Amino acid sequence: MSLRTPLAEARGLGSAKEGTGHWVAQRLTALALIPLTLWFVVSVLMLMHSNYVSVVNWIHAPWNAILLVLTVLTVYWHAYLGLQVIVEDYVHVGWLKVSVIVALRFIAVILAAIGIFVVLRVAFGG
């Protein structure tokens, strides 16, 4: 047990000692999502009346596959960072907060993996 006061412990470090990385990652993923989401919305509008073959051909095209993978990855990264902050702000029971944040992280990684896998499966012609 430390004999230093809580203020002395916190001084110069900040109470959390972390968070800058989270803040920067949230902004950088936001920046990346500006062109990615605009491209995605326009693509969906162009594809919305297409049949199965047209959509598969569209996903099969290299640039579309690459941008789809980047979109899925960045969307889930950004969504996780945002949801984490919401939970930290509104859930004040320690074990529940940690459990929900861990669950959200697992769900985000699993859904991102599924999204990237199905795109690559079509892109590589499987």
Q: Does 47 bind another protein (CB under 8 A)?
A: yes
Q: Does 19 bind another protein (CB under 8 A)?
A: no
Q: Does 61 bind another protein (CB under 8 A)?
A: no
Q: Which of 14, 27, 88, 102 binds another protein (CB under 8 A)?
A: 27
Give the C-alpha separation, 46 to 41, whole Å.
9
Give the residue among 39, 112, 104, 21 at the shortest CA–CA distance from 69: 112
Give the C-alpha separation, 98 to 76, whole Å.
19
Q: Mark out the alpha helices in 1-19 (DSSP H runs).
A: 6-10
CB of 49 to another protein, least distance (A): 5
Select 17 or 49, whichever has its Cβ closest to another protein.
49
- The number of residues that bind another protein (CB under 8 A) is 36
